[in-house]
A and B are shown apart, each in its own frame.
Chain A
Amino acid sequence: MTITNKIVTENLVLQYSDGTESLKDISMNIPVNSISVIFGPAGGGKSTYLRVLNRLNDLANVTTVSGKAHLYSESGDFIDILDPNLDVTALRRRVGMVFARPVVLPMSIRENLTYGLEIAGVRKRSLLHEAIERSLNQAALWEEVQDRLDDPAMELSGGQQQRLCIARSLALEPEVLLLDEPTSGLDPISTGKVEASLQELKKNYTIVLVPHSVQQAARAADYAAFFLQGKLIEYAPGNEMFTTPQVQQTADYIEGRFG
Protein backbone atom coordinates (compact mmCIF):
# COMPACT_ATOMS: atom_id res chain seq x y z
CA MET A 1 0.00 0.00 0.00
CA THR A 2 1.30 3.45 -0.80
CA ILE A 3 0.15 6.48 1.07
CA THR A 4 -0.56 9.90 -0.39
CA ASN A 5 -0.34 11.99 2.77
CA LYS A 6 2.61 11.74 5.14
CA ILE A 7 1.10 13.97 7.77
CA VAL A 8 -2.51 14.82 8.40
CA THR A 9 -3.47 17.66 10.72
CA GLU A 10 -7.03 18.59 11.55
CA ASN A 11 -8.44 21.47 13.56
CA LEU A 12 -5.11 22.25 15.23
CA VAL A 13 -5.38 24.91 17.91
CA LEU A 14 -2.38 26.01 19.95
CA GLN A 15 -2.05 28.55 22.70
CA TYR A 16 1.08 29.87 24.47
CA SER A 17 1.02 30.51 28.20
CA ASP A 18 0.87 34.27 27.70
CA GLY A 19 -2.47 33.80 25.98
CA THR A 20 -1.30 34.13 22.37
CA GLU A 21 -3.36 31.80 20.21
CA SER A 22 -0.81 31.06 17.51
CA LEU A 23 -2.64 28.33 15.59
CA LYS A 24 -6.33 28.72 14.94
CA ASP A 25 -8.03 25.66 13.59
CA ILE A 26 -5.43 24.54 11.07
CA SER A 27 -6.40 21.61 8.87
CA MET A 28 -4.00 20.55 6.14
CA ASN A 29 -2.35 17.46 4.74
CA ILE A 30 1.32 17.14 3.89
CA PRO A 31 1.71 14.96 0.76
CA VAL A 32 4.44 12.36 0.77
CA ASN A 33 7.71 12.83 -1.19
CA SER A 34 7.17 16.46 -2.04
CA ILE A 35 8.02 19.93 -0.84
CA SER A 36 5.23 21.67 1.02
CA VAL A 37 5.91 25.32 1.58
CA ILE A 38 4.36 27.31 4.39
CA PHE A 39 4.63 31.04 3.87
CA GLY A 40 3.13 34.25 5.15
CA PRO A 41 3.97 37.35 7.14
CA ALA A 42 5.86 37.34 10.44
CA GLY A 43 4.03 35.99 13.46
CA GLY A 44 1.67 33.94 11.36
CA GLY A 45 2.37 30.71 13.21
CA LYS A 46 4.61 29.03 10.65
CA SER A 47 7.34 28.08 13.09
CA THR A 48 4.80 27.10 15.68
CA TYR A 49 3.14 24.74 13.19
CA LEU A 50 6.46 23.09 12.32
CA ARG A 51 7.25 22.57 15.99
CA VAL A 52 3.93 20.80 16.47
CA LEU A 53 5.01 18.19 13.96
CA ASN A 54 8.04 17.03 15.97
CA ARG A 55 6.71 18.04 19.38
CA LEU A 56 9.47 20.60 19.93
CA ASN A 57 6.81 22.83 21.40
CA ASP A 58 7.10 20.57 24.47
CA LEU A 59 10.16 22.66 25.33
CA ALA A 60 8.27 25.94 25.08
CA ASN A 61 5.63 27.55 27.23
CA VAL A 62 2.70 26.02 25.42
CA THR A 63 -0.46 25.63 27.47
CA THR A 64 -2.94 23.94 25.15
CA VAL A 65 -2.76 21.99 21.93
CA SER A 66 -5.88 20.41 20.55
CA GLY A 67 -6.97 18.84 17.31
CA LYS A 68 -5.42 16.01 15.41
CA ALA A 69 -1.95 15.39 14.04
CA HIS A 70 -1.10 12.00 12.55
CA LEU A 71 2.15 10.76 11.08
CA TYR A 72 1.79 7.94 8.56
CA SER A 73 4.38 5.31 7.74
CA GLU A 74 4.72 3.57 4.37
CA SER A 75 2.59 0.67 5.54
CA GLY A 76 -0.36 2.97 6.13
CA ASP A 77 -0.14 2.78 9.93
CA PHE A 78 -0.09 6.05 11.76
CA ILE A 79 0.90 7.43 15.14
CA ASP A 80 -0.85 10.22 16.98
CA ILE A 81 1.75 12.97 17.25
CA LEU A 82 -0.14 14.74 20.03
CA ASP A 83 -0.45 11.63 22.21
CA PRO A 84 0.94 12.67 25.63
CA ASN A 85 2.36 9.16 26.13
CA LEU A 86 4.18 9.15 22.83
CA ASP A 87 7.92 8.46 22.88
CA VAL A 88 8.90 11.88 21.52
CA THR A 89 12.56 10.94 21.07
CA ALA A 90 11.49 8.32 18.51
CA LEU A 91 9.17 10.82 16.85
CA ARG A 92 11.97 13.37 16.54
CA ARG A 93 14.17 10.82 14.83
CA ARG A 94 11.45 10.29 12.24
CA VAL A 95 10.73 14.03 11.87
CA GLY A 96 13.96 15.99 11.64
CA MET A 97 14.27 19.74 11.92
CA VAL A 98 16.58 22.46 10.61
CA PHE A 99 16.47 25.93 12.14
CA ALA A 100 16.86 29.39 10.71
CA ARG A 101 20.15 30.04 12.46
CA PRO A 102 22.74 27.36 11.78
CA VAL A 103 23.43 25.86 15.19
CA VAL A 104 26.28 23.40 15.06
CA LEU A 105 27.13 21.65 18.29
CA PRO A 106 30.52 22.50 19.83
CA MET A 107 32.21 19.33 18.57
CA SER A 108 33.87 18.07 15.42
CA ILE A 109 32.05 17.82 12.11
CA ARG A 110 32.02 14.05 12.50
CA GLU A 111 30.58 14.16 16.00
CA ASN A 112 27.87 16.58 14.92
CA LEU A 113 26.71 14.00 12.42
CA THR A 114 26.94 10.96 14.66
CA TYR A 115 25.49 12.61 17.76
CA GLY A 116 21.87 11.72 17.02
CA LEU A 117 22.76 8.18 15.95
CA GLU A 118 24.82 7.51 19.06
CA ILE A 119 22.00 8.83 21.21
CA ALA A 120 19.75 6.36 19.40
CA GLY A 121 22.13 3.57 20.34
CA VAL A 122 24.01 3.09 17.05
CA ARG A 123 27.62 2.24 17.91
CA LYS A 124 28.95 0.34 14.92
CA ARG A 125 31.68 2.38 13.24
CA SER A 126 30.91 1.23 9.72
CA LEU A 127 27.27 2.24 10.07
CA LEU A 128 28.26 5.60 11.50
CA HIS A 129 30.70 6.25 8.70
CA GLU A 130 28.20 5.26 6.08
CA ALA A 131 25.72 7.72 7.55
CA ILE A 132 28.31 10.50 7.57
CA GLU A 133 29.19 10.10 3.92
CA ARG A 134 25.62 9.66 2.76
CA SER A 135 24.22 12.62 4.69
CA LEU A 136 27.05 14.95 3.69
CA ASN A 137 26.52 14.02 0.06
CA GLN A 138 22.81 14.62 0.33
CA ALA A 139 23.47 18.05 1.79
CA ALA A 140 26.04 18.81 -0.95
CA LEU A 141 28.81 19.22 1.59
CA TRP A 142 30.90 16.07 1.20
CA GLU A 143 33.33 17.51 -1.32
CA GLU A 144 34.11 20.45 0.91
CA VAL A 145 34.66 18.70 4.20
CA GLN A 146 35.66 15.11 3.49
CA ASP A 147 39.28 15.81 4.45
CA ARG A 148 38.54 17.68 7.66
CA LEU A 149 35.85 15.64 9.38
CA ASP A 150 37.59 15.93 12.72
CA ASP A 151 37.91 19.70 12.68
CA PRO A 152 35.62 21.71 14.96
CA ALA A 153 32.33 22.29 13.19
CA MET A 154 32.35 25.90 14.36
CA GLU A 155 35.22 26.61 11.96
CA LEU A 156 32.98 26.09 8.92
CA SER A 157 31.51 29.06 7.10
CA GLY A 158 27.89 30.02 7.77
CA GLY A 159 26.64 28.37 4.61
CA GLN A 160 28.61 25.20 5.30
CA GLN A 161 27.33 25.15 8.87
CA GLN A 162 23.74 25.28 7.68
CA ARG A 163 24.32 22.44 5.23
CA LEU A 164 25.95 20.53 8.09
CA CYS A 165 22.77 21.06 10.10
CA ILE A 166 20.74 19.63 7.23
CA ALA A 167 23.15 16.70 7.03
CA ARG A 168 22.86 16.21 10.79
CA SER A 169 19.12 15.74 10.43
CA LEU A 170 19.55 13.49 7.40
CA ALA A 171 22.05 11.28 9.19
CA LEU A 172 19.17 9.89 11.20
CA GLU A 173 17.32 8.98 7.98
CA PRO A 174 14.15 10.75 9.02
CA GLU A 175 10.97 10.38 7.02
CA VAL A 176 10.07 14.03 7.24
CA LEU A 177 12.37 17.05 7.14
CA LEU A 178 11.15 20.32 8.62
CA LEU A 179 13.08 23.40 7.52
CA ASP A 180 12.36 26.75 9.16
CA GLU A 181 13.79 29.51 6.95
CA PRO A 182 16.96 27.46 6.45
CA THR A 183 18.54 29.97 4.07
CA SER A 184 17.73 33.21 5.82
CA GLY A 185 21.33 33.83 6.84
CA LEU A 186 22.98 32.55 3.68
CA ASP A 187 24.42 34.19 0.58
CA PRO A 188 22.73 33.50 -2.80
CA ILE A 189 25.22 30.82 -3.81
CA SER A 190 24.80 28.82 -0.62
CA THR A 191 21.06 29.33 -0.89
CA GLY A 192 21.16 27.91 -4.39
CA LYS A 193 23.04 24.84 -3.20
CA VAL A 194 20.56 24.21 -0.41
CA GLU A 195 17.56 24.63 -2.73
CA ALA A 196 19.09 22.27 -5.26
CA SER A 197 19.69 19.60 -2.69
CA LEU A 198 16.13 19.93 -1.45
CA GLN A 199 14.91 19.14 -4.96
CA GLU A 200 17.03 15.98 -4.84
CA LEU A 201 15.94 15.06 -1.34
CA LYS A 202 12.22 15.24 -2.00
CA LYS A 203 12.48 12.04 -4.03
CA ASN A 204 13.00 10.13 -0.80
CA TYR A 205 11.80 12.46 1.91
CA THR A 206 8.76 14.50 2.73
CA ILE A 207 9.81 18.09 3.13
CA VAL A 208 8.06 20.96 4.88
CA LEU A 209 9.75 24.27 4.17
CA VAL A 210 9.19 27.72 5.59
CA PRO A 211 10.87 29.86 2.92
CA HIS A 212 12.58 33.14 3.64
CA SER A 213 10.95 34.91 0.70
CA VAL A 214 7.97 34.61 -1.61
CA GLN A 215 10.38 34.03 -4.48
CA GLN A 216 11.89 31.06 -2.72
CA ALA A 217 8.39 29.80 -1.98
CA ALA A 218 7.49 30.00 -5.67
CA ARG A 219 10.72 28.28 -6.72
CA ALA A 220 10.52 25.39 -4.28
CA ALA A 221 6.85 24.67 -3.74
CA ASP A 222 5.06 21.57 -4.89
CA TYR A 223 2.33 22.62 -2.52
CA ALA A 224 1.97 25.94 -0.77
CA ALA A 225 0.08 27.04 2.32
CA PHE A 226 -0.50 30.69 3.17
CA PHE A 227 -0.60 31.37 6.93
CA LEU A 228 -1.92 34.65 8.26
CA GLN A 229 -2.24 35.39 11.97
CA GLY A 230 -2.56 31.77 12.96
CA LYS A 231 -5.04 30.86 10.22
CA LEU A 232 -4.57 28.80 7.10
CA ILE A 233 -5.86 31.18 4.41
CA GLU A 234 -5.19 29.15 1.31
CA TYR A 235 -3.63 25.82 0.44
CA ALA A 236 -2.97 24.77 -3.16
CA PRO A 237 -0.41 23.21 -5.49
CA GLY A 238 2.49 25.59 -5.93
CA ASN A 239 2.01 26.39 -9.61
CA GLU A 240 -1.60 27.41 -8.98
CA MET A 241 -0.92 29.34 -5.79
CA PHE A 242 1.67 31.64 -7.29
CA THR A 243 -0.10 32.24 -10.61
CA THR A 244 -3.78 32.29 -9.71
CA PRO A 245 -4.30 32.72 -5.98
CA GLN A 246 -7.95 32.33 -5.03
CA VAL A 247 -8.06 34.55 -1.94
CA GLN A 248 -7.51 38.31 -2.06
CA GLN A 249 -5.20 38.32 1.00
CA THR A 250 -2.94 35.73 -0.61
CA ALA A 251 -2.77 37.70 -3.83
CA ASP A 252 -1.95 40.89 -1.92
CA TYR A 253 0.86 39.19 -0.03
CA ILE A 254 2.35 37.51 -3.07
CA GLU A 255 2.34 40.75 -4.99
CA GLY A 256 4.00 42.51 -2.10
CA ARG A 257 1.07 44.75 -1.13
CA PHE A 258 1.47 43.98 2.58
CA GLY A 259 3.58 42.17 5.14
Chain B
Amino acid sequence: MKSRSSAQRRNLTQQIGFIFLRLVAIIAVLPIIAIIVFIIYQGAPAISLEFIFGFPSDGMRSGGIWPAIVGTFFLTLICALVVSPLGIGAAIYLAEYAPDNRWTQSIRIAIINLAGIPSVVYGLFGLGLFVIFLNFGISILAGSLTLAIMTLPVIITTTEEALRAVPQSFRVVSRSVGATQWQTVRRIVLPQALPGILTGVILGLERAAGETAPILFTAAVFFLPRLPSSPMDPTMALPYHLYVISTQVPGMSPQIQYGTALVLLVFVLGMNLIATIIRSRARARRQW
Protein backbone atom coordinates (compact mmCIF):
# COMPACT_ATOMS: atom_id res chain seq x y z
CA MET B 1 0.00 0.00 0.00
CA LYS B 2 2.62 2.46 1.06
CA SER B 3 5.02 1.54 -1.73
CA ARG B 4 2.31 2.00 -4.30
CA SER B 5 1.59 5.54 -3.18
CA SER B 6 5.29 6.40 -3.36
CA ALA B 7 5.38 4.95 -6.83
CA GLN B 8 2.44 7.09 -7.76
CA ARG B 9 4.15 10.10 -6.33
CA ARG B 10 7.24 9.39 -8.35
CA ASN B 11 5.15 9.04 -11.44
CA LEU B 12 3.50 12.33 -10.74
CA THR B 13 6.89 14.00 -10.29
CA GLN B 14 7.96 12.60 -13.62
CA GLN B 15 4.85 13.82 -15.37
CA ILE B 16 5.18 17.30 -13.95
CA GLY B 17 8.88 17.28 -14.79
CA PHE B 18 8.26 16.36 -18.40
CA ILE B 19 5.62 19.03 -18.76
CA PHE B 20 8.04 21.53 -17.31
CA LEU B 21 10.74 20.48 -19.79
CA ARG B 22 8.32 20.78 -22.66
CA LEU B 23 7.38 24.28 -21.55
CA VAL B 24 11.01 25.32 -21.39
CA ALA B 25 11.66 23.94 -24.87
CA ILE B 26 8.68 25.88 -26.17
CA ILE B 27 9.98 29.05 -24.52
CA ALA B 28 13.32 28.49 -26.23
CA VAL B 29 11.92 27.78 -29.66
CA LEU B 30 8.90 30.05 -29.87
CA PRO B 31 10.91 33.29 -30.22
CA ILE B 32 12.75 31.79 -33.18
CA ILE B 33 9.53 31.18 -35.05
CA ALA B 34 8.16 34.51 -33.87
CA ILE B 35 11.20 36.38 -35.21
CA ILE B 36 10.95 34.78 -38.63
CA VAL B 37 7.22 35.37 -38.91
CA PHE B 38 7.51 38.92 -37.61
CA ILE B 39 10.24 39.91 -40.04
CA ILE B 40 8.39 38.40 -42.97
CA TYR B 41 5.21 40.16 -41.88
CA GLN B 42 6.87 43.53 -41.42
CA GLY B 43 9.32 43.30 -44.29
CA ALA B 44 7.24 41.79 -47.07
CA PRO B 45 5.37 45.03 -47.91
CA ALA B 46 8.71 46.69 -48.63
CA ILE B 47 9.74 44.14 -51.20
CA SER B 48 9.35 45.33 -54.75
CA LEU B 49 11.43 45.26 -57.90
CA GLU B 50 12.50 48.80 -57.22
CA PHE B 51 13.56 47.91 -53.68
CA ILE B 52 15.64 44.92 -54.77
CA PHE B 53 17.14 46.37 -57.95
CA GLY B 54 17.20 50.05 -57.09
CA PHE B 55 19.87 52.25 -55.57
CA PRO B 56 19.35 53.95 -52.24
CA SER B 57 18.21 57.53 -52.51
CA ASP B 58 17.34 60.44 -50.24
CA GLY B 59 20.14 59.61 -47.81
CA MET B 60 19.00 55.96 -47.89
CA ARG B 61 15.56 56.86 -46.64
CA SER B 62 14.02 55.56 -49.84
CA GLY B 63 15.02 53.64 -52.94
CA GLY B 64 16.50 50.16 -52.97
CA ILE B 65 19.35 48.04 -51.73
CA TRP B 66 20.81 46.59 -54.94
CA PRO B 67 24.42 47.67 -54.29
CA ALA B 68 24.30 45.99 -50.87
CA ILE B 69 22.94 42.76 -52.36
CA VAL B 70 25.60 42.75 -55.06
CA GLY B 71 28.29 43.52 -52.53
CA THR B 72 27.32 40.67 -50.21
CA PHE B 73 27.09 38.34 -53.20
CA PHE B 74 30.64 39.12 -54.33
CA LEU B 75 32.08 39.09 -50.82
CA THR B 76 30.60 35.63 -50.31
CA LEU B 77 31.61 34.38 -53.76
CA ILE B 78 35.27 35.36 -53.49
CA CYS B 79 35.34 34.06 -49.94
CA ALA B 80 34.04 30.73 -51.28
CA LEU B 81 36.63 30.58 -54.05
CA VAL B 82 39.44 31.11 -51.56
CA VAL B 83 38.26 29.08 -48.62
CA SER B 84 36.89 26.00 -50.38
CA PRO B 85 40.16 24.60 -51.77
CA LEU B 86 42.00 25.55 -48.61
CA GLY B 87 39.44 24.12 -46.21
CA ILE B 88 38.75 20.96 -48.19
CA GLY B 89 42.48 20.38 -48.67
CA ALA B 90 43.10 20.76 -44.96
CA ALA B 91 40.24 18.39 -44.16
CA ILE B 92 41.62 15.82 -46.61
CA TYR B 93 44.96 16.10 -44.89
CA LEU B 94 43.47 15.58 -41.45
CA ALA B 95 41.11 12.77 -42.42
CA GLU B 96 43.29 10.86 -44.89
CA TYR B 97 46.95 11.68 -44.50
CA ALA B 98 47.81 13.09 -41.09
CA PRO B 99 49.70 10.75 -38.77
CA ASP B 100 48.57 10.63 -35.17
CA ASN B 101 51.26 12.82 -33.67
CA ARG B 102 51.98 16.12 -31.96
CA TRP B 103 51.99 18.15 -35.16
CA THR B 104 48.54 16.95 -36.10
CA GLN B 105 47.43 17.69 -32.57
CA SER B 106 48.65 21.26 -32.91
CA ILE B 107 46.78 21.67 -36.19
CA ARG B 108 43.63 20.64 -34.38
CA ILE B 109 44.26 23.10 -31.57
CA ALA B 110 44.87 25.82 -34.14
CA ILE B 111 41.54 25.06 -35.80
CA ILE B 112 39.72 25.17 -32.47
CA ASN B 113 41.30 28.55 -31.80
CA LEU B 114 40.43 29.93 -35.21
CA ALA B 115 36.84 28.90 -34.61
CA GLY B 116 36.76 30.78 -31.33
CA ILE B 117 38.36 34.09 -32.27
CA PRO B 118 35.73 36.87 -32.11
CA SER B 119 34.68 38.16 -35.50
CA VAL B 120 35.71 41.71 -34.70
CA VAL B 121 39.24 40.48 -34.03
CA TYR B 122 39.23 39.00 -37.53
CA GLY B 123 38.28 42.47 -38.63
CA LEU B 124 41.34 43.92 -36.89
CA PHE B 125 43.54 41.27 -38.43
CA GLY B 126 42.13 41.91 -41.91
CA LEU B 127 42.75 45.61 -41.42
CA GLY B 128 46.34 45.02 -40.33
CA LEU B 129 47.28 42.43 -42.95
CA PHE B 130 45.16 43.00 -46.06
CA VAL B 131 44.14 46.65 -45.90
CA ILE B 132 47.35 48.18 -44.57
CA PHE B 133 50.28 45.79 -44.85
CA LEU B 134 49.40 44.33 -48.27
CA ASN B 135 47.92 47.67 -49.26
CA PHE B 136 44.67 46.32 -50.71
CA GLY B 137 42.85 49.23 -49.10
CA ILE B 138 39.23 48.94 -48.03
CA SER B 139 38.12 46.52 -50.71
CA ILE B 140 36.04 43.49 -51.55
CA LEU B 141 39.24 41.48 -51.76
CA ALA B 142 40.39 42.44 -48.27
CA GLY B 143 36.93 41.69 -46.87
CA SER B 144 36.59 38.37 -48.69
CA LEU B 145 39.98 37.16 -47.54
CA THR B 146 39.16 38.12 -43.96
CA LEU B 147 35.86 36.26 -44.18
CA ALA B 148 37.65 33.30 -45.78
CA ILE B 149 40.00 32.87 -42.85
CA MET B 150 37.10 33.25 -40.46
CA THR B 151 35.07 30.49 -42.17
CA LEU B 152 38.06 28.18 -42.65
CA PRO B 153 37.60 26.26 -39.37
CA VAL B 154 33.89 25.67 -40.02
CA ILE B 155 34.62 24.20 -43.42
CA ILE B 156 37.54 22.09 -42.25
CA THR B 157 35.54 20.58 -39.42
CA THR B 158 32.44 19.72 -41.41
CA THR B 159 34.40 18.42 -44.38
CA GLU B 160 36.56 16.23 -42.19
CA GLU B 161 33.44 14.74 -40.67
CA ALA B 162 32.02 14.03 -44.12
CA LEU B 163 35.26 12.33 -45.20
CA ARG B 164 35.44 10.21 -42.06
CA ALA B 165 31.89 9.01 -42.61
CA VAL B 166 33.01 7.20 -45.78
CA PRO B 167 33.63 3.57 -44.77
CA GLN B 168 37.27 2.65 -44.33
CA SER B 169 36.70 -0.58 -46.24
CA PHE B 170 36.27 1.33 -49.53
CA ARG B 171 39.73 2.76 -49.10
CA VAL B 172 41.31 -0.61 -48.37
CA VAL B 173 39.65 -2.20 -51.38
CA SER B 174 40.73 0.63 -53.64
CA ARG B 175 44.33 0.34 -52.47
CA SER B 176 44.22 -3.43 -52.84
CA VAL B 177 43.54 -3.17 -56.58
CA GLY B 178 46.55 -0.91 -57.04
CA ALA B 179 45.20 2.60 -56.54
CA THR B 180 47.47 5.14 -54.89
CA GLN B 181 46.32 7.09 -51.88
CA TRP B 182 45.45 10.16 -53.93
CA GLN B 183 43.62 8.11 -56.57
CA THR B 184 41.61 6.55 -53.77
CA VAL B 185 40.76 9.93 -52.30
CA ARG B 186 39.85 11.47 -55.63
CA ARG B 187 37.89 8.58 -57.15
CA ILE B 188 36.26 6.99 -54.11
CA VAL B 189 36.33 9.14 -51.00
CA LEU B 190 35.63 12.61 -52.40
CA PRO B 191 32.66 11.60 -54.59
CA GLN B 192 31.09 9.76 -51.67
CA ALA B 193 31.67 12.66 -49.28
CA LEU B 194 30.65 15.36 -51.74
CA PRO B 195 27.15 16.08 -50.40
CA GLY B 196 28.53 16.37 -46.88
CA ILE B 197 31.30 18.65 -48.08
CA LEU B 198 28.88 20.87 -49.99
CA THR B 199 26.66 21.12 -46.94
CA GLY B 200 29.64 22.17 -44.83
CA VAL B 201 30.85 24.75 -47.33
CA ILE B 202 27.40 26.30 -47.64
CA LEU B 203 26.96 26.48 -43.87
CA GLY B 204 30.36 28.17 -43.62
CA LEU B 205 29.43 30.69 -46.30
CA GLU B 206 26.12 31.30 -44.58
CA ARG B 207 28.11 32.61 -41.67
CA ALA B 208 30.32 34.71 -43.93
CA ALA B 209 27.34 36.27 -45.69
CA GLY B 210 25.70 37.37 -42.46
CA GLU B 211 28.73 38.73 -40.62
CA THR B 212 29.25 42.43 -40.16
CA ALA B 213 32.19 42.91 -37.83
CA PRO B 214 34.90 41.38 -40.09
CA ILE B 215 34.00 43.66 -43.01
CA LEU B 216 33.52 46.76 -40.90
CA PHE B 217 37.08 47.99 -41.40
CA THR B 218 38.07 45.89 -44.40
CA ALA B 219 35.45 46.15 -47.11
CA ALA B 220 32.23 47.90 -46.25
CA VAL B 221 31.29 51.50 -46.88
CA PHE B 222 28.29 53.49 -45.85
CA PHE B 223 27.08 54.40 -49.29
CA LEU B 224 28.27 53.94 -52.85
CA PRO B 225 26.51 55.57 -55.77
CA ARG B 226 27.57 52.78 -58.16
CA LEU B 227 28.26 49.09 -58.15
CA PRO B 228 31.81 47.95 -57.39
CA SER B 229 33.70 47.37 -60.62
CA SER B 230 36.62 45.31 -59.36
CA PRO B 231 37.64 43.30 -56.30
CA MET B 232 39.80 46.25 -55.30
CA ASP B 233 36.74 48.48 -54.85
CA PRO B 234 35.05 49.01 -51.53
CA THR B 235 31.45 47.90 -51.40
CA MET B 236 28.16 48.13 -49.63
CA ALA B 237 26.98 44.95 -47.94
CA LEU B 238 23.62 43.79 -46.63
CA PRO B 239 24.47 43.21 -42.96
CA TYR B 240 26.43 46.45 -42.72
CA HIS B 241 23.67 48.28 -44.53
CA LEU B 242 21.12 47.03 -42.00
CA TYR B 243 23.40 48.21 -39.21
CA VAL B 244 23.76 51.61 -40.82
CA ILE B 245 20.10 52.24 -41.50
CA SER B 246 19.04 51.06 -38.08
CA THR B 247 21.57 53.06 -36.06
CA GLN B 248 23.16 55.83 -38.10
CA VAL B 249 20.37 57.32 -40.16
CA PRO B 250 17.77 59.32 -38.30
CA GLY B 251 14.24 59.27 -39.64
CA MET B 252 14.47 55.92 -41.42
CA SER B 253 11.21 54.34 -42.38
CA PRO B 254 10.85 51.05 -40.48
CA GLN B 255 9.52 49.45 -43.63
CA ILE B 256 12.84 49.79 -45.42
CA GLN B 257 14.64 48.52 -42.35
CA TYR B 258 12.44 45.45 -42.10
CA GLY B 259 12.65 44.94 -45.84
CA THR B 260 16.44 44.94 -45.64
CA ALA B 261 16.38 42.56 -42.69
CA LEU B 262 14.05 40.26 -44.62
CA VAL B 263 16.29 40.20 -47.69
CA LEU B 264 19.33 39.44 -45.54
CA LEU B 265 17.45 36.70 -43.72
CA VAL B 266 16.25 35.15 -46.97
CA PHE B 267 19.80 35.28 -48.36
CA VAL B 268 21.24 33.53 -45.33
CA LEU B 269 18.45 31.13 -44.46
CA GLY B 270 18.08 30.28 -48.15
CA MET B 271 21.64 28.96 -48.05
CA ASN B 272 20.74 27.02 -44.92
CA LEU B 273 17.76 25.51 -46.71
CA ILE B 274 19.85 24.48 -49.70
CA ALA B 275 22.33 22.80 -47.37
CA THR B 276 19.54 20.95 -45.60
CA ILE B 277 18.06 19.75 -48.89
CA ILE B 278 21.42 18.51 -50.16
CA ARG B 279 21.99 16.67 -46.92
CA SER B 280 18.65 14.90 -46.76
CA ARG B 281 18.71 14.02 -50.47
CA ALA B 282 22.16 12.49 -50.14
CA ARG B 283 21.10 10.58 -47.05
CA ALA B 284 18.16 9.08 -48.88
CA ARG B 285 20.27 8.07 -51.85
CA ARG B 286 23.28 6.76 -49.97
CA GLN B 287 23.98 3.07 -50.40
CA TRP B 288 26.12 2.44 -47.34
**Contact between chain A and chain B defined by CB under 8 Å:** yes
Contact partner of A90 (CB less than 8 A), chosen from B175, B178, B288, is: B178
Contact partner of A92 (CB less than 8 A), chosen from B178, B192, B288, is: B178
User: Are the C-beta atoms of A92 and B172 separated by less than 8 Å?
Assistant: no
Q: Which chain A residue shows the least CB distance to B188?
A: A105
C-beta contact mask, B100-143 vs A, less than 8 Å → 1, else 0?
A: 00000000000000000000000000000000000000000000
Which residues of chain A are within 8 angstroms of B183 by Cβ–Cβ distance? Answer: 119
Expressed in whole angstroms, the Cα–Cα distance for A105 and B176 within the complex equals 12
User: Are the C-beta atoms of A106 and B178 separated by less than 8 Å?
Assistant: no
Number of A-B contacts (CB under 8 A): 59
Which residues of chain A are within 8 angstroms of B192 by Cβ–Cβ distance? Answer: 106
Does A101 lie at the interface of the complex (its beta carbon under 8 Å from any beta carbon of B)? yes
A59-B178 contact in complex given A106-B170, A106-B287, C-beta closer than 8 Å: no
Q: Please count how many residues in chain A sit with their CB below 8 Å of the partner chain's CB atoms.
A: 24
C-beta contact mask, B8-38 vs A, less than 8 Å → 1, else 0?
A: 0000000000000000000000000000000
Which residues of chain A are within 8 angstroms of B175 by Cβ–Cβ distance? Answer: 56, 59, 92
C-beta contact mask, B139-183 vs A, less than 8 Å → 1, else 0?
A: 000000000000000000000000000000111111111111001
Which residues of chain B are within 8 angstroms of A115 by Cβ–Cβ distance? Answer: 174, 177, 179, 187
14 A-B interface contacts by CB (under 8 A): A59-B172, A89-B178, A89-B180, A92-B177, A96-B176, A99-B176, A103-B169, A103-B170, A103-B173, A106-B170, A106-B287, A116-B179, A119-B183, A172-B178
Give the interface of B toward A (CB within 8 A). 169-180, 183, 187-188, 192, 287-288
User: Are the C-beta atoms of B170 and A105 separated by less than 8 Å?
Assistant: yes
User: Are the C-beta atoms of A119 and B287 separated by less than 8 Å?
Assistant: no
Which residues of chain A are within 8 angstroms of B188 by Cβ–Cβ distance? Answer: 105-106
Which residues of chain B are within 8 angstroms of A154 by Cβ–Cβ distance? Answer: 287-288
Q: Which chain A residue shows the least CB distance to B183?
A: A119
Chain B nearest Cβ from A238, distance in angstroms: 27
Which residues of chain B are within 8 angstroms of A106 by Cβ–Cβ distance? Answer: 170, 188, 192, 287-288
Which residues of chain A are within 8 angstroms of B287 by Cβ–Cβ distance? Answer: 106, 152, 154
The winner among B171, B174, B176 for most chain A CB atoms within 10 A is B176
Chain B nearest Cβ from A251, distance in angstroms: 35
Expressed in whole angstroms, the Cα–Cα distance for A154 and B169 within the complex equals 14
Which residues of chain B are within 8 angstroms of A127 by Cβ–Cβ distance? Answer: none
Which residues of chain B are within 8 angstroms of A152 by Cβ–Cβ distance? Answer: 287
Expressed in whole angstroms, the Cα–Cα distance for A221 and B173 within the complex equals 26
Chain A nearest Cβ from B226, distance in angstroms: 50
Chain B nearest Cβ from A112, distance in angstroms: 9
C-beta contact mask, A145-162 vs B, less than 8 Å → 1, else 0?
A: 000000010100000000
Chain B nearest Cβ from A81, distance in angstroms: 14
User: Are the C-beta atoms of A116 and B170 separated by less than 8 Å?
Assistant: no
Does A36 lie at the interface of the complex (its beta carbon under 8 Å from any beta carbon of B)? no
Q: Which chain B residue shows the least CB distance to A98?
A: B176
Expressed in whole angstroms, the Cα–Cα distance for A172 and B233 within the complex equals 57
Does A46 lie at the interface of the complex (its beta carbon under 8 Å from any beta carbon of B)? no
Does A23 lie at the interface of the complex (its beta carbon under 8 Å from any beta carbon of B)? no
Q: Which chain A residue shows the least CB distance to B175?
A: A59
User: Are the C-beta atoms of B288 and A169 separated by less than 8 Å?
Assistant: no
C-beta contact mask, A8-45 vs B, less than 8 Å → 1, else 0?
A: 00000000000000000000000000000000000000
A93-B176 contact in complex given A103-B170, A105-B170, A154-B288, C-beta closer than 8 Å: no
Which residues of chain B are within 8 angstroms of A165 by Cβ–Cβ distance? Answer: 173
User: Are the C-beta atoms of A105 and B178 separated by less than 8 Å?
Assistant: no
Which residues of chain B are within 8 angstroms of A97 by Cβ–Cβ distance? Answer: 176
Which residues of chain B are within 8 angstroms of A183 by Cβ–Cβ distance? Answer: none
Expressed in whole angstroms, the Cα–Cα distance for A12 and B170 within the complex equals 28
Does A168 lie at the interface of the complex (its beta carbon under 8 Å from any beta carbon of B)? yes
Chain B nearest Cβ from A240, distance in angstroms: 33
Does A54 lie at the interface of the complex (its beta carbon under 8 Å from any beta carbon of B)? yes
The 9 closest A-B pairs by CB, nearest first: A116-B177, A154-B287, A89-B178, A93-B178, A92-B178, A103-B169, A119-B179, A97-B176, A103-B173
